[in-house]
Amino acid sequence: MAQAATARASTPKVQQTKLLIDNQWVEAADGKSFSTYNPATGEVIAQVAEGSAADVDKAVKSARRALESGPWSTMDAADRGRLLYKLADLVEKHANELAALESLNCGKTISDSKGDMEGVVNTLRYYGGWADKVEGRTIPVRGSFLSYTLRQPVGVVGQIIPWNFPLLMLAWKWGPALTCGNTIVMKPAEQTPLSALRLGELAIEAGFPAGVINLINGFGETAGAALVAHPGVDKIAFTGHVDTAKIIQKQAADTLKRTTFELGGKSPNVVFADADMDAAVAGAFHAIYFHGGQCCTAGSRLFIEKKVHQEFVERLAEKAKTRKIGDPLDPSTQQGPQVSQEQMDKILHYVELGQKQGATLLTGGERFGDRGFFVEPTIFDNVKDDMAIARDEIFGPVVSVLPFSGVDEVVARANDTTYGLAAAIWTKDIDKAHLFAKNVKAGTVWVNCYHVVDATTPFGGFKMSGQGRENGEAAIEHYTETKTVTIKLG
């Protein structure tokens, strides 16, 4: 087994800051750029080209050309798969550098970033394998006809991703899109463009033809909105905030684009008294504090059965106090900074609101240090279902503890939210586990585990947590159009 690294990862060199259009690295049409920051220090890392509508238009035209003419349009499906395998190999080869770049720009700990790189490789390989397995059907129609279906790419897809898992979100979107033969214009999050740009370089090295993958850095209201409005874009795949999804859905209506959304959550994590307590404490901790709570699946509503409530919160608070916060590039660090000043301020605002509304602040609640955007692991006890900290997605290391008494009660309360992304239950009772899994309204349910997400399994939300599914075969559905061909016989 490989030994865990103990030395600080070296600060990576930023190699690419431009836009990728038609396999060329170019400055923005209007020459604009914006700063990208290191959230651990608040310092500027680099200036990055800032795309706007004119750049989006060029990228969409390039993606259209690649879709309709040129090598990609006639490439054997198996060869598309081979390109994805090559890209996966390159990510594997450069995993340490990419992980360090991710930690530098996004603030996640180096160990979490390395975990993300494994996820990126797995995703690209998984979808590489799909390329020559996307099949149509023959259908027994009435009359003297032969009917069959073809599964064809949706076309030029616009992909808009967030800052919390920059490369993993990229892989979840590139993998299924490319394996099905689509072409891409992607807008990385304005906070974290650097790793995507490095992957653009690796995609060229892997051999993806010009126009298949385009990258436009920039802001949501300009570059993002231009991508959504562009009549040459056939589909928008979006991961981000629910309020942004509402804007995108309205704007996409003008051209009736296909849309898929992976949005936020306020996920219930339910601990019964009969659970393995050591596992449940560790699991509840991981559920909320993984990546400083900056996960759409964060277990931010922690329901604890009253019989074990006191003991459980005490153990959780003890653990929170020992968490090592600091430099994301140091392998012993357990929690890095939040991604930005804006996110840190939002979290601290919710901490204030929780106290004002009468919840008990058990531990944490403060900014950590005076440099960078760190927040202490925070626990609110005795939270009521209608408090803001129990209803809104905070996207930070803040958990709301909600005591409960029975299964029916907790299922009803777990479902009393506009979200429905994930849910978890900790119990040794198989009946409770299955009843909960069946009745909770969430796209993913974990039993005695948390945050287990794999390229092979569908991922997405019920209700306002999204539309459509990523990963697994489900994503293939969303990146293909079904065409029925009917032939008269005799």
Positions that interact with ligand ADP (CB under 6 A) = 160-162, 187, 189-190, 219-221, 224-225, 228, 240-241, 244, 247-248
254-to-159, 186, 240 alpha-carbon distances in Å: 18, 20, 21
Residue 90 or 161 with smaller CB distance to ligand ADP: 161
Residue 395 or 479 with smaller CB distance to ligand ADP: 395
Catalytic pick among 102, 296, 305, 376: 296
| Exposed / middle / buried, residue 370 (Cβ in 10 Å: 0-12, 13-18, 19+) | exposed
Q: What's phi and psi for 442, nearest 5 deg? A: -155, 150
The minimum distance between CB 378 and ligand ADP, in angstroms, equals 19
The minimum distance between CB 6 and ligand ADP, in angstroms, equals 33
First to last CA, the chain: 65
The minimum distance between CB 242 and ligand ADP, in angstroms, equals 8
Catalytic pick among 262, 305, 376, 470: 262
H/E stretch holding 130 reads helix 110-130
The minimum distance between CB 345 and ligand ADP, in angstroms, equals 13
DSSP for 369-387, written as a single string: SSSSSEE--EEEES--TTS
**Cα–Cα distance measured from residue 124 to residue 269, given in angstroms and rounded to the nearest whole number:** 30
Radius of gyration of the chain (CA): 23
* Tokens 């309360």 found at: 413
Residue 33 or 152 with smaller CB distance to ligand ADP: 33
Q: Sign of torsion, CA 284 288 292 298?
A: positive
The minimum distance between CB 219 and ligand ADP, in angstroms, equals 6
The minimum distance between CB 52 and ligand ADP, in angstroms, equals 13
CB contact set of 247 (below 8 Å; sequence gap of 6+): 225
**Cα–Cα distance measured from residue 416 to residue 174, given in angstroms and rounded to the nearest whole number:** 34
Two structure tokens written together for 142: 């009435």
Is residue 295 among the annotated active site residues?
no
Residue 85 or 219 with smaller CB distance to ligand ADP: 219
**Cα–Cα distance measured from residue 231 to residue 376, given in angstroms and rounded to the nearest whole number:** 45
Residue 53 or 277 with smaller CB distance to ligand ADP: 53
**Cα–Cα distance measured from residue 325 to residue 376, given in angstroms and rounded to the nearest whole number:** 8
3-state secondary structure 296-321: CCCCCEEEEEHHHHHHHHHHHHHHHH
Is residue 296 among the annotated active site residues?
yes
Residue 227 or 313 with smaller CB distance to ligand ADP: 227
Catalytic residues: 262, 296
